[in-house]
Chains A and B, each alone.
Chain A
Amino acid sequence: MKKTFEQLIDEAKSVSLSVAEKETLKRNIFEQIQSSSKPLKISETFNFLIFTRTHLAASALVLLFVLVGATSAFAERALPGGLLYPLKTGVNEEVRGWFAFSGQAEAEFEIDLAHRRLEEIEKMTDSSSLTDEKKNKAEEQFVLHTEKAERSILSGSSEGEKEGKGDDSASLTAAEQESPARSEFSLKVSQEAAQSDVVSKESAEELLKDVKSKIELLGKILKSKKQVPGESRIEARLFLLKAERMFVDGKVKFSEKDYGSAAVELTKALQAIENILQSPDLNLRTIFEMKLKAESDSSDEKNPSDDFTQIKSGDSFVDVKLRSDGTIDDDQSGSDTEASGEVRGANSQVEFEGDEPKQEDRRNDRGEDGDEDKNRIEIRGEVQIGI
């Protein structure tokens, strides 16, 4: 059978096209290909030049948008005297202003612009490209925007946009007055600073860093509407702007190696910051100092054997010790704690060695049995952990 099957296959394989048949078939196929040949699709052999020629208007529009967008983006980095600076101030900033619909939004917009002018002075100082002319021009604009912001705040108040605006301004005015202890301190520094040979470059530099970090921190807090809601926030931003102005002046003096004058300006800036923090309506001191401490702690080296987290709340001090077996040994010292609050998610932020706390061993500061939620540690005082 096998031999017969093999023969069968051999016979079958002998079936084939004749030479003539093969040529005829080939001719037919290629004739049909020629007659029905279509131009290749653009997607297959994309020719940019052909595409733009056939879609001239659209290509021109796209190119225009790209150029305008790129130019506008570059203009953002422009400084006074630069080629694109008029585009930055006359177009980019102008357009942003269109979207400020309320008095509050306008005030914030003007504050942002004033801040940008100060940033420009700072950048020019850093790059040693600051001239008197450029500085004066930027300062003029700074004053202009600051005044506009003040007018927007006032106009918003007269339209009844804000509630208790009168109270706010009264409180801020009060805050502007130096507290006796602070005024004595700043006076002392100012007097010392007046003698430039007393203030060294290193001291001035330290002061510069200190003021800069505080201004940045306070700026972040004030920008967050959650932290400080309401109109008080915008007014505080305006006051902070003034502190920033003093900081920039101090920086300019520093760059001119006039360390004494720099220290005077920087101290004024510190005072302005202090005034904002003292405002009872803003209630910023707690948050500010917590964040400041957190920032400085994050740069400190931690002792790996420490298994407790120190949480400071203003002048109060709460030690929460997390043992590796999960029990909590809290030690409250300090009497200025306020209403009870909670620290959430502490375990997710605190690193400790050992097992996770056992359910039955957890206790809160009131000595009650542990909560179902093992991530909650209750302590007195409103705190935020940023570890």
Chain B
Amino acid sequence: MTREQDMRKEFETAYENYADALFRHCFFRVSSRETALDLVQESFLKTWDYMQKGEKIINLKSFLYRVVNNSIIDFYRKRKSESLDALAEDGFDPPVRHNEDIMSQTEYNRAISFFEKLSEQYRSVMIMRFIDGMAIPEIAEILNETENNVSVRIHRGLEKIRKLMEI
């Protein structure tokens, strides 16, 4: 097998394994299904370009999340005129549920809305920690933060959610 074929196989496997999780992550970060799909597509293409250059990727999962995180940041920068709060006020594009779960649409929307109401710095770590199921060191590596900072932000994010849920 040539190097190109090896690379393609590795890339395909990564897509099968992580596309769902990455989409979910993007969705809760940007509150839009369409935007989340675009961001996932963009992130995978960027990763392929990187691999094409012959660069070695040690941990493909972390790399993909890092690319996604950067893509989300770029997305926000393009929409600088709109504040995050304004985005929250304008509402969101709730996903259509496709699973067999008996959870109601109302409960579903409620979950999403709680994350949406968090500010970005807490949202990202909360999503990674509780939805993506990542450990703190992994989050710290992806966000290029110290583990201590990540822990503090998770703690504060939980506090915010608690307050939101008490309302």
Contact = CB atoms under 8 A, between A and B. Distances in A.
Given A12-B28, A16-B24, A33-B45, A25 B40 contact: yes
A43 B55 CA distance: 12
Contacts of B54: 40-41, 43-44
B24 A32 contact: no
Interface string B41-78: 10011001000111000000000000000000000000
A50 interface: no
Contacts of B20: 16-17, 22
A44 B3 contact: yes
Contacts, number: 86
Interface in A162-185: none
B97 A9 contact: no
Interface in A1-35: 1, 4-5, 7-18, 21-22, 25-26, 28-29, 32-33
Contact of B99 (A14, A32, A40): A14
A28 B48 CA distance: 13
B45 A32 contact: yes
A29 B45 contact: yes
Given A21-B37, A44-B54, A11 B19 contact: no
A11 B27 CA distance: 13
B27 A45 contact: no
A28 B27 CA distance: 19
A55 interface: no
Given A22-B20, A29-B41, A33-B48, A13 B131 contact: yes
Q: Is the interface of A mostly helix, strand, loop or mixed?
A: helix
Nearest to B54: A44
Interface residues of B, number: 40
**Interface magnitude class on chain A:** 20 to 34
A11 to B, nearest CB: 3
B51 to A, nearest CB: 10
Nearest to B111: A11
Interface in A232-279: none
Interface of A: 1, 4-5, 7-18, 21-22, 25-26, 28-29, 32-33, 38, 40-41, 43-45
19 contacts: A4-B165, A10-B103, A11-B107, A13-B24, A15-B112, A17-B23, A18-B98, A21-B23, A21-B37, A22-B20, A25-B41, A29-B41, A29-B45, A32-B45, A40-B3, A40-B4, A41-B54, A44-B3, A45-B2
Interface of B: 2-4, 15, 19-20, 23-24, 27-28, 37, 40-41, 44-45, 48, 52-54, 95, 97-99, 101, 103, 107-108, 110-112, 114-115, 127, 130-131, 158, 161-162, 165-166
Given A5-B162, A7-B107, A28-B41, 15 more contacts: A1-B165, A5-B161, A5-B165, A8-B165, A9-B130, A11-B103, A12-B28, A13-B131, A16-B99, A17-B23, A25-B19, A38-B52, A40-B52, A43-B54, A45-B2
